[in-house]
Amino acid sequence: MKFKTVITGFVLLFLSQAEAELLQRAEVAAFVRDMVTEYDYDADELNDVLGRVQLSEKVIAAISRPAEALPWHRYRSIFIKPSRVRGGVEFWRRHLVQLEHARELYGVPVEIMVAVIGVETRYGNNTGGFKVINSLSTLAFDYPKRSKFFTGELKQYLLLAREQSLDPHTLKGSYAGAMGIPQFIPSSYRAYAVDFDDDGLIDIWENPADAIGSVGNYFKVHGWREGAGITAPASVRETDNSALLTKGLELKLSMGDMAAGGVTAEGDIDPAEKVKLLQLENKDGYEYWLALHNFYVITRYNHSALYAMAVYQLAEAIRAQYQPGT
């Protein structure tokens, strides 16, 4: 027992020193000053919050190996599987009224909202086990590559906690600080989350209605076009098509440009419509798709073509299995 007590004391001393060192760092002091100046945050309160932060090597390791770096065939296998399709059908049946209301209000197909929640958290069954304050602080202060972005999210999170009268150390989420059933980062919560059941509280952690409404609102605000297509399978000539594989996710070329380069699509796409050619890696080669405007909107939720394609294909599989009235 005496040995255990000594070890425990050593660990606590190490943590307290690490926390004290965090408060002594110049960038952390600057962050506190900014919060006081910009948002009238209490300096002593914020120092207490940050003094209890535990920076996490697991967070850095996780963000350094995102699933979106995988080839398509491996990424797809994570999300397009029978159990997740069945879960989507069950979620649709269980929350039919709220989903239909969201479809009517925001114009987003039910299966897309369901698939987003399915990809993000398996319909609320896995919302993350990292303390949000620890994740965001780690990425803000110990991940230079995206420090600016996550410093902004840490600010948004602290403002959210103050608005909701929450202890910032109570909420858990993903390694990147995404929260709740739809995995909203703090800025998205403050900008797009809605009280969809009018109970006076926006709760994306425990309330599926608010999660559903928030996803629908997010897509609506980002320009979802009701009734428009999302993506279409494409065929390409056996020639160099590198000029058509534009960088980024924006739709820079028209369907007419694609046709002139030897790309054809299943279904009719207006020659003037902006599209993006997608080249997805399989075990035995590539498959090609044309991303349309609503596909781009899905990438606003997660800036990845693989993510948007997984949402689309999961949505299609769920819709194929869902039977109204059963």
Residues with active-site annotation: 120
Pair 189, 199: CB distance under 8 Å: no
- Say if residues 22 and 141 touch (Cβ distance below 8 Å): yes
Determine which helix (DSSP H) or strand (DSSP E) holds 287, and give its type and residue range.
strand 285-291
Residues 224 and 230: their CA atoms lie apart, in Å, by: 10
Q: How far apart are CA 215 and CA 114, in angstroms?
A: 9
CA distances, 67 to each of 77, 131, 146, 301 (Å): 11, 21, 17, 15
Q: In 10 A of CB 252, how many CB atoms?
A: 13
Distance in angstroms (rounded) separating the CA atoms of residues 132 and 217: 23
Two structure tokens written together for 281: 């890696």
